[in-house]
Chain A
Amino acid sequence: MRRDSAITCPGELTGSPRSLCEEITMAFLLKQPSVLPGFGLALGFALLYLSLIVLIPLAGLFMKTATLAWDQFWAAVTDPRTVASYQLTFGASLVAAMINAVFGLIIAWVLARYSFPGKKLLDALIDLPFALPTAVAGITLTAVFSVNGWIGRYLEPWGIKVAFTPFGVLVALTFIGLPFVVRTVQPVLQDLETQIEEAAASLGATRWKTITRVILPEVLPALLTGFTSAFARAVGEYGSVVFISGNMPMRTEITPLLIITKLEQYDYAGATAIAVVMLVVSFALLLLINGLQWWSGRRLAAL
């Protein structure tokens, strides 16, 4: 048995039964020997790359923030205007991700299960929010939803205002998050064989039962991944939102805008302080959702 690992255990070469050392090595590697050679080299490279691309810039962020005294930091991140922006950014991102999870699932279902004329076109359309520069998306949405816009003018008599309200922020975040859900759920649904549904039906399951007990558990991990990506993207979104939000302090200012605002006033440390709060909260939420995903995956495996 040849293994491309950096660790060599005694007895391995002589063909004796697996030792404790080997068991530990196996557990550590988690996986059986893979086609990619050199675990040590690959791991080293991965860590180096991650450090260069992610960790070093983030460390810089924390170091800049560290130039603030604790009470200055606290004052910067708990300012009423900043707190109002957290509520809007995280609240709207969460709701937008939920909306996308529901409707993204339906769209993915339609694309995976049915064929109809124009399907390819619709499929390509999904990716548009990915590809569109966010500023263009923002300007377009504002034009459409402002009181004189195509849609805005019909909503206005009903008292519904979209542009320059928190609702407008939600619309923009929903727009940019949609592809994340569709593109993660779609392949799973495509792999899910229709026979499974037929089997469920032949065993006497109702349609509702088939959906909740058979299909949903299967797509749930993918759906959660899509939800997470949509949420993470929405939290950091700037370009499309600043145009439609109207940027009113205490009402429609998103947190990334406040960071820009601080930078415009040469308050680098204050800007990074807010950024650190966003980073920590986002990371905690992502960890939570990943944990949820792991849990749902295990539950699925147990079924």
Chain B
Amino acid sequence: MWFGHFIVSLLILLGISLLQSPARAADTISLLNVSYDPTRELYQEFNAAFAKQWQAKTGQPVAIKQSHGGSSKQARAVIDGLQADVVTLALAYDIDAISDKAALLPENWNTRLPHNSAPYTSTIIFLVRKGNPKGIKDWDDLIKPGVSVITPNPKTSGSARWNYLGAWGYALRKPGGTDAAARAFLTQLYRNVPVLDSGARGATTTFVDRGIGDVLINWENEILLGGKELSRDKFEIVVPPVSILAEPAVSLVDKVVDKKGTRAIAQAYLEHLYSEEGQDIAAKHYYRPRSASVAAKYAERFPKVALFTLNEIAGDWHKTNAIHFADGGLFDQIFQEIARSKQ
């Protein structure tokens, strides 16, 4: 009995000491960056670099916390009250949602920083089995009968939306491409999809660990990063000649920084992403830099792809979402068609 009491009081003491620890370093300013899944390593390095630079400039120590998860889940957490100073998410749409649903930041947030507030970009490429047994080189090869394609569910995954829009844009921009032709292309593509994981990491597991599928469609940064870690004798990277320019976007959360009094430092944090150092760190983590000089330095790392933007193929995110991903939208219609033809 005394032992149980002992443990309980120990836990209480531990809890109290944990609660008190932030008070110890009262002069340290703290920032919370709410981001999406694959940026974990990028921001670990970037945060350290920014803290050093900020302290050298102002003498003020800064502690930056980072939170990672599915992009729209993270946006929802901010809407529901997570005190994020800055958000760095996979889709501009998720930051739009923070503005629409909770008015925590102004509608024109993406005009406040250069390049639509997207300091780094990525694109969508393919990973295939060693030797590329199905001969996959381009988007067209994904709709061949007998090719099994792994991509997550665009309803639950930000990266899956980029995959979907990459295929849509490819089909639309082909000679003679129309909305109807692009829809037929996507229907054939999703016929070849045996499983729709809820997120990009899950899809990678399905392809890499379970050995399901002939080709995985995913973020370039994830595939290039994985290229280092995955055994090279089992997989090959295939870069299609054209793909979509994916622009993960960043913004201040105005209501939060004004309440906490962290606007200046949060602004500096985001601007540092555009600095040579910030761009260099992004490129190191396989995100395509905006800076021409950094891009030249890392030219070897990023394969040449002709990139089209979301605006060129579908309009802004509000429109894209309403047409493609909303309930009853094109994605739903495609799956109803597939379900009907299977019966």
* Residues of chain A at the chain B interface (Cβ within 8 Å): 76, 79-81, 84, 139, 142-143, 146-149, 163-164, 242-243, 246-251, 257, 260-267, 270
* CB-based closest 7 A-B pairs: A250-B339, A246-B195, A249-B335, A148-B211, A261-B155, A247-B196, A264-B72
Please name 12 pairs of A and B residues whose Cβ atoms are closer than 8 Å in the assembled complex, sorted by A: A79-B328, A81-B335, A143-B210, A146-B211, A146-B212, A147-B211, A247-B198, A257-B198, A262-B327, A265-B72, A265-B326, A266-B76
Beyond A246-B196, A263-B76, is A81–B336 a contact (Cβ under 8 Å)?
A: yes
CB-based contact A266/B339 at 8 Å: no
Within the complex, the shortest CB–CB distance from A29 to chain B, in Å, comes to 36
> Which B residues lie within 8 Å of A248 (CB)?
195-196, 335
Beyond A147-B212, A148-B212, A247-B153, is A266–B101 a contact (Cβ under 8 Å)?
A: yes
CB-based contact B195/A264 at 8 Å: no
> Which B residues lie within 8 Å of A264 (CB)?
70, 72-73, 76, 155-156
* Distance, CA A61 to CA B210, complexed state (A): 38
List the B residue with the shortest CB-CB distance to A152: B210
Which of these, B100, B326, B339, contacts A249 with CB under 8 Å? B339
* Distance, CA A76 to CA B195, complexed state (A): 24
Within the complex, the shortest CB–CB distance from A91 to chain B, in Å, comes to 17
CB-based contact A243/B202 at 8 Å: yes
* Residues of chain B at the chain A interface (Cβ within 8 Å): 70, 72-73, 75-76, 79, 97, 100-101, 153, 155-156, 194-198, 202, 205, 209-212, 321, 325-328, 332, 335-336, 338-339
Beyond A261-B155, A266-B76, is A146–B210 a contact (Cβ under 8 Å)?
A: yes
Within the complex, the shortest CB–CB distance from B277 to chain A, in Å, comes to 34
> Which B residues lie within 8 Å of A147 (CB)?
210-212
* Distance, CA A115 to CA B202, complexed state (A): 43
* Distance, CA A143 to CA B205, complexed state (A): 10
* Distance, CA A129 to CA B29, complexed state (A): 44
Within the complex, the shortest CB–CB distance from B321 to chain A, in Å, comes to 8
* Distance, CA A80 to CA B337, complexed state (A): 12
> Which A residues lie within 8 Å of B194 (CB)?
164, 246
* Distance, CA A148 to CA B213, complexed state (A): 11
> Which B residues lie within 8 Å of A270 (CB)?
327
> Which B residues lie within 8 Å of A242 (CB)?
198
* Distance, CA A104 to CA B70, complexed state (A): 38
Which of these, B70, B210, B327, contacts A148 with CB under 8 Å? B210
List the B residue with the shortest CB-CB distance to A243: B202
Within the complex, the shortest CB–CB distance from B79 to chain A, in Å, comes to 8
Within the complex, the shortest CB–CB distance from B255 to chain A, in Å, comes to 18
> Which A residues lie within 8 Å of B210 (CB)?
142-143, 146-149, 163
* Distance, CA A148 to CA B211, complexed state (A): 7
List the B residue with the shortest CB-CB distance to A242: B198
CB-based contact A260/B156 at 8 Å: yes
CB-based contact B196/A81 at 8 Å: no
* Distance, CA A79 to CA B100, complexed state (A): 26
CB-based contact A260/B198 at 8 Å: yes
Which of these, A76, A148, A247, A249, contacts B332 with CB under 8 Å? A249
> Which B residues lie within 8 Å of A143 (CB)?
209-210
List the B residue with the shortest CB-CB distance to A258: B155
CB-based contact B339/A79 at 8 Å: no
> Which B residues lie within 8 Å of A263 (CB)?
76
* Distance, CA A295 to CA B70, complexed state (A): 48
> Which B residues lie within 8 Å of A80 (CB)?
336
* Distance, CA A243 to CA B209, complexed state (A): 13
* Distance, CA A164 to CA B213, complexed state (A): 13
CB-based contact A266/B327 at 8 Å: no
> Which A residues lie within 8 Å of B75 (CB)?
266
> Which A residues lie within 8 Å of B211 (CB)?
146-148
CB-based contact A164/B325 at 8 Å: no
Within the complex, the shortest CB–CB distance from A216 to chain B, in Å, comes to 41
> Which B residues lie within 8 Å of A81 (CB)?
332, 335-336
* Distance, CA A242 to CA B197, complexed state (A): 8
* Distance, CA A243 to CA B203, complexed state (A): 10
* Distance, CA A128 to CA B332, complexed state (A): 38
CB-based contact B212/A266 at 8 Å: no
> Which A residues lie within 8 Å of B100 (CB)?
266
List the A residue with the shortest CB-CB distance to B334: A249
* Distance, CA A257 to CA B155, complexed state (A): 10
List the A residue with the shortest CB-CB distance to B196: A247
List the B residue with the shortest CB-CB distance to A146: B210
Within the complex, the shortest CB–CB distance from A272 to chain B, in Å, comes to 14
> Which B residues lie within 8 Å of A260 (CB)?
156, 198
Within the complex, the shortest CB–CB distance from B234 to chain A, in Å, comes to 13
> Which B residues lie within 8 Å of A266 (CB)?
72, 75-76, 79, 97, 100-101
* Distance, CA A154 to CA B51, complexed state (A): 55
* Distance, CA A264 to CA B159, complexed state (A): 13
> Which B residues lie within 8 Å of A139 (CB)?
205
Within the complex, the shortest CB–CB distance from A58 to chain B, in Å, comes to 19
* Distance, CA A213 to CA B192, complexed state (A): 55
